[in-house]
Chains A and B, each alone.
Chain A
Amino acid sequence: MTATTVTPRLEEDPAAGDTIWTERTSWLDSVPRAVSMAVVFAVFVGLWQFVSWLEVVSPIILPTPGETLADLIFVGQNLLSGGYMLPALWITMKEVFYGFALAIFLGFSLGVLVGETSFGERAIMPYLVAIDTMPKVAFAPLFVAWLGFGIESKVALAAFIATFPIIVGTAAGLHVADENARMLFKTMGATRMQTLIQMKLPMGLPQIFTGLKIGAVGVMAGAITGEFLGGGKGFGELIRVAASQLNTPRVFSLILYLSLLGLALFASVSWLQRKIVFWHKDRVGETHA
């Protein structure tokens, strides 16, 4: 004999409405990116215009957005028509390029030494950490004294600043490989060099590129600081001269053009990373600096 129990239906309030509902999202988060960026820019320029109009700050110190725009166009025309600013930009570009190349060479070599050998880790890493904690810009006068007022002292300072993040990135990258990957290479009878080149380095590429990106930012700062303190004929010198003449619109526009150079360098490193480390999904435009 079996007993069946009928489960009574759940009492429902007929006035409660439908079961289909939508998740609430803020309208602010659904605005397209281009629009949000344009709005932020407009608000910034508006505030700037407002402050200039109030004249709470002397117009000599803070130019109006209009003045800055006019100067931005002037500098742009000068650069495009091959005026006196173009050679200055070229000099700074060379400093940045050579500085970065030198930093990549030194940073990578030292990074491998420190990350791969226990000698490097024990005997060299402590010194590198000690130097890294020093304010590296303070070495600028030394580089000028050693290498003169030419491009060399700026290249040296730029490379000096950019080397450390690349060392750290490379050394950290070489430690990414897990126990399984190491054992696997051991069972294949791989030599130390094979393990390094065919496994540890490719595995560490995301970290190495992080170091390169931070280095790319640092190399710009190094080159300009070098020019401020060591003279020469670069873009930093133009900024210094404009500032000493209280030509603030010029300072602003020069900085903006300089930032384009920095952006281009950073973007090329990011592009290279996406091409080479195709398996690693890094957020586009992600910065670690």
Chain B
Amino acid sequence: MILLSTATPGTATADSPRALVYELSDVGKTYARNKVVALENVSLTLGKGSFSSVIGSSGCGKSTLLKIMAGLIPPTTGRVVLQGRPVTGARRDIGMMFQQATLFPWLTTVENIVLPIRIRDGRAAAARAREQAHDLLEVVGLKGFETVYPNELSGGMAQRASICRMLITEPAVLLLDEPFSALDELSRDFMNMELQRICTERDATAFLVTHSIPEAVILSDRVLVMKPRPGRLAEIVEIDLPRPRTLDMVTTPKFGKLVDYIRNLLDKEADA
């Protein structure tokens, strides 16, 4: 049976039975310049090893939410706490991945991967982290590409390398901003399965922003549906498909029901 925990908008909360890693309470963001309320009273928690996705139409504040969680912009109200400490800027225990791989063409693959270490701890530490980078490259199936420049990597390979760059600092939470949406459909499905495998192996806590309902459903334990103007959490949909998830699950009736349910929610938001 499908578990649907509905919450009243404005006070939406999502509780997880696992040890909490990340906690947002009543977070809001109003842009002073044009007094636009981008985000209103968002409360959510991320349990250790959980995978959550956020989905919503454009302008629903999901990228604002992600930026606040990453410490890139400050919230105007509420509390943002990661591993017991408030997030007030970029942090080592936050790993982030974007739509574009953004590998720097003057650095080799391995140099790109240890770049976060080089920025934080200097060249010597970066040199020591190379060993670890090699191991990560092996995990994502890029062994042998250490000294290759990014120009020679395909789109999917570049995103694998950027996964390694995100993991090199051993972050407590992975923030994923539509990481594979620039890839073609086939690579995207494949990379999603790879992402699941990597997250499971490392017991990683992940938070994904996506436009794709099937992607959100296949990867997540919970899908957060957001509503625009002002941006807020409308509903949290629990995905109780068994793990590990496989691509052929997309043809099961249960998967179809979940996708339909979320699509209806989003359509309702669009009409409102």
Chain A contact residues, CB within 8 Å of chain B: 178, 180-181, 183-190, 194, 198-199, 202-203, 278-280
Task: Please determine whether B151 and A189 come into contact, CB atoms closer than 8 angstroms.
Answer: no
Within 8 Å of chain A (Cβ to Cβ): is B96?
yes
Query: A193: shortest Cβ distance to chain B, in Å?
Result: 11
Of the residues B94, B98, B105, B149, contact of A183 by C-beta under 8 Å: B98
State in angstroms the CA–CA spacing of A113 and B99 once bound together: 31
Given A279-B106, A279-B151, verify A187-B100 contact (CB < 8 Å): no
Within 8 Å of chain A (Cβ to Cβ): is B128?
no
Within 8 Å of chain A (Cβ to Cβ): is B229?
no
Chain B: which residue is nearest A189 at the CB level? B90
Query: A180: shortest Cβ distance to chain B, in Å?
Result: 5
* Residue numbers in A under 8 Å from B116 (CB-CB): 188
Task: Please determine whether A189 and B92 come into contact, CB atoms closer than 8 angstroms.
Answer: yes
Task: Please determine whether B98 and A184 come into contact, CB atoms closer than 8 angstroms.
Answer: yes
* Residue numbers in B under 8 Å from A185 (CB-CB): 119
Grouping DSSP codes into helix (H, G, I), strand (E, B) and loop, the A interface class, with mixed when no group exceeds half, is helix
Q: Can you list 11 contacts pairing A with B, beta carbon distance less than 8 Å? A: A178-B100, A180-B99, A180-B102, A186-B72, A186-B90, A187-B71, A188-B115, A188-B119, A189-B89, A198-B118, A280-B105
* Residue numbers in A under 8 Å from B102 (CB-CB): 178, 180-181, 184
Chain A: which residue is nearest B117 at the CB level? A188
Chain B contact residues, CB within 8 Å of chain A: 70-72, 89-92, 94, 96, 98-100, 102, 104-106, 115-116, 118-120, 149, 151
* Residue numbers in A under 8 Å from B89 (CB-CB): 189
Query: A41: shortest Cβ distance to chain B, in Å?
Result: 38
* Residue numbers in B under 8 Å from A203 (CB-CB): 104
Task: Please determine whether A183 and B72 come into contact, CB atoms closer than 8 angstroms.
Answer: yes
Given A202-B106, A279-B149, verify A189-B100 contact (CB < 8 Å): no
Chain A: which residue is nearest B102 at the CB level? A180
* Residue numbers in B under 8 Å from A188 (CB-CB): 90, 115-116, 119-120
State in angstroms the CA–CA spacing of A199 and B104 once bound together: 8
State in angstroms the CA–CA spacing of A190 and B71 once bound together: 13
In the complex, besides A178-B100, A181-B104, A198-B119, 8 extra interface pairs with C-beta distance below 8 angstroms are A180-B100, A181-B102, A183-B96, A188-B119, A189-B89, A198-B118, A199-B104, A279-B106
State in angstroms the CA–CA spacing of A127 and B91 once bound together: 40
In the A-B complex, the 5 residue pairs with the smallest Cβ-Cβ separation, listed nearest first, are A279-B105, A189-B90, A188-B119, A180-B102, A187-B96
* Residue numbers in A under 8 Å from B94 (CB-CB): 187
Task: Please determine whether A202 and B104 come into contact, CB atoms closer than 8 angstroms.
Answer: yes
Given A189-B90, A202-B104, verify A180-B119 contact (CB < 8 Å): no
State in angstroms the CA–CA spacing of A203 and B118 once bound together: 18
* Residue numbers in B under 8 Å from A178 (CB-CB): 100, 102
* Residue numbers in B under 8 Å from A279 (CB-CB): 105-106, 149, 151
Query: B151: shortest Cβ distance to chain A, in Å?
Result: 6
State in angstroms the CA–CA spacing of A272 and B107 once bound together: 18
Query: A111: shortest Cβ distance to chain B, in Å?
Result: 19
Query: B124: shortest Cβ distance to chain A, in Å?
Result: 16
* Residue numbers in B under 8 Å from A202 (CB-CB): 104, 106
* Residue numbers in B under 8 Å from A199 (CB-CB): 104
* Residue numbers in B under 8 Å from A183 (CB-CB): 72, 96, 98
* Residue numbers in A under 8 Å from B119 (CB-CB): 185, 188-190, 194, 198
Chain B: which residue is nearest A276 at the CB level? B106
Task: Please determine whether B106 and A180 come into contact, CB atoms closer than 8 angstroms.
Answer: no
Interface hub of A188, A199, A280 (most chain B Cβ within 10 A): A188
* Residue numbers in B under 8 Å from A186 (CB-CB): 72, 90
Query: A105: shortest Cβ distance to chain B, in Å?
Result: 23
State in angstroms the CA–CA spacing of A185 and B96 once bound together: 11
State in angstroms the CA–CA spacing of A280 and B151 once bound together: 10
Query: B194: shortest Cβ distance to chain A, in Å?
Result: 21
Of the residues B90, B104, B151, contact of A187 by C-beta under 8 Å: B90
Chain A: which residue is nearest B118 at the CB level? A198
* Residue numbers in B under 8 Å from A181 (CB-CB): 102, 104
Query: B20: shortest Cβ distance to chain A, in Å?
Result: 22
Query: B177: shortest Cβ distance to chain A, in Å?
Result: 9
Chain A: which residue is nearest B90 at the CB level? A189
State in angstroms the CA–CA spacing of A202 and B111 once bound together: 15
State in angstroms the CA–CA spacing of A191 and B203 once bound together: 31
Query: A173: shortest Cβ distance to chain B, in Å?
Result: 14
Given A183-B72, A183-B98, A279-B149, verify A189-B105 contact (CB < 8 Å): no
Query: A101: shortest Cβ distance to chain B, in Å?
Result: 25
State in angstroms the CA–CA spacing of A199 and B106 once bound together: 10
